[in-house]
Amino acid sequence: MLFVNKNLKLLSFLAFLLVLAAFAMVLFYAPIELNMGIVQKVFYFHVSAAWIGMLAFLVAAVCGILYLNKKQLKYDFIAFSAVEIGLLFTAIANFSGMIWAKPIWNTWWTWDPRLTTMTIMAFTYIGYLLLRRGVDNPEKRARFGSVYAIIGFASVPLTFFSSRLLRTIHPTIFGADTGDMAMIPAMYQTMAVSIVAFTVLFATLLWHRSLLAARESELEILRAQTEVLEFGEVLDD
Amino acid sequence: MKDWLHSVRTLVWKDLLQEWRSKDMLTAMFAFAILTLFIFNYAIELSPVNRAEIASGIIWVVIVFAGTLGLNRSFTAEQDQGCFDALVMAVPDVSAIYFGKMLTNWFVMLFVSVLILPIYSLLYNQSLFNAGFILVLVLGALCYSAAGTLIAGMTVQTRMRDLLLPILLFPILMPVNMAVVKAAGGILAGAPLMDVQAWLVLLAAYGIIVTTVSIMVFEYVIRE
Amino acid sequence: MTNLSYFIAGYLVIFGLLGGYVLHLLTLKKRLDREQKELSRQN
């Protein structure tokens, strides 16, 4: 079986501790950056969230390929969960990025390639979830979801390249400020712990969500059977 | 291979003939395109100064929106009459269906552009008949129908249908939009083809990647 | 620090969204538990 509950509890606990530790490092260990002040510290969780946003898309696309090849619904549960959680983390990355950009760049939004790509990715996630809601047959829903996750994932690097190209052709959109900063070891360490913490958190959430998705699907089947028992007829899709 | 080419040609011919006989869609797309042009006229002040840069954006938006109308229709006949299975059985390989539909959508978009370009040139007294500009539009429309055909094949089978197509398609099309508008705008503003080369390469790469992926996954879209 | 409020807002948003999602999962789990019980009672 794919899911073992005892390990999941352990992992949840570990994820909780790691996020707590990372946040403690952000608060007390990482130094305050001289130019940007304390708001720079949003950056640690912001970057980690953005990383998970991309990782989730990769997971969804890989599970999509696996589903199309093996036709086992468990891959679809994982892919769907990855997209839902990926949307959460892209939202976190975008909103925290905006809050960081306001005092630093004096604007909530810039057409920075990473920002643009991340937002378009979020819309691809939303499209995926909407597509699934429009299909009733679970097998077809899984198939379409897989196809869309694959094609969506293939387009992400192109979106990034094109918005980067746009920038090099129009360098005046924004000054030299790209958010790069000189990092000292304490900052690197905080960054690394945050990224590890978020990755473990992602795995935990993914596991929980996939379990719930599997149960949802079981219930769906059970409900269909009950209806057949009650009404004595097969409602075909 | 010969079989395959033959079935693609037959499919394209069948769809185009169907469209040509009813002319519903072509008329609707054409009227829609002209109306959109009019809306832009009042929404954006097109002074002779900024016209060169803005024209490419307007033309592309008109083509994209009109193209969405066409894409929404491209699988409805098969879906409504439940003959997807018959179609699958009739061809040597499902990729023939994908190519057939893609080419049809492409031709329809080109047809709309052929109508819209002279009208725009006429209304705004700015000739758009520039080989580079047209090349970019043709390439862009090809990329658009490559991605659009795959997505439309799925959305036509969902409950929300036409509502869902642009939501699913536009995020994926973002590189094409940027490339077409920037390359076409550059050409209209007088830049040589060399200057927009990067955008053309991007369009070509997009077309190749999306078509390859589509061919690989299209059978899961169409086969019950 | 002048931008402390932005720092606090940033982490409020991050933990708010994370917490909200965990809460969403918990309510989903509860709903599934309840529905499962109802269905097994019916059968």
- Mean pLDDT, rounded, for B1-26: 86
Minimal Cα distance from B147: which residue of A? A151
Q: pLDDT category, B131, cuts 50, 70, 90?
A: confident
Residue A237 has pLDDT above 50, yes or no: no
Confidence of residue A178 (pLDDT cuts 50, 70, 90): very low
pLDDT for position A3: 53
Residues of chain A whose C-beta is under 8 A from some C-beta in B?
Answer: 68, 120-121, 123-124, 126-127, 130-131, 134-136, 140, 143-144, 146-148, 150-152, 154-155, 158-159, 161-163, 165-166, 169
**pLDDT of A75 above 90:** yes
CB contact under 8 A, C43 and A42: no
Asked whether residue C41 carries a pLDDT value surpassing 50, the answer given is yes
* Confidence bin at A177 (pLDDT 50/70/90): very low
Residue A56 contacts C, CB cutoff 8 Å: no
CA angle A79, A84, A90 (to 5 degrees): 115
Checking ipTM against 0.95, whether it exceeds it is no
User: Residue A169 above 60 pLDDT?
Assistant: no
Residue B224 has pLDDT above 80, yes or no: no
Query: Which of the two residues, C13 and B23, has the higher pLDDT score?
Result: C13
User: Is residue B128 over pLDDT 90?
Assistant: no
Is pLDDT of A67 > 70?
yes
Higher pLDDT, A174 or C1: C1
Cβ-nearest to A219 among C2, C11, C35: C35
C3 shares contact with chain A (CB less than 8 Å): yes
Give A182's pLDDT tier (boundaries 50, 70, 90).
low
pLDDT at A223: 82
- Which of C5, C11, C14 to mutate to probe the A interface, most A CBs <10 Å? C14
- What integer is the mean pLDDT of A148-166? 88
> What is the reported pLDDT for C43?
65
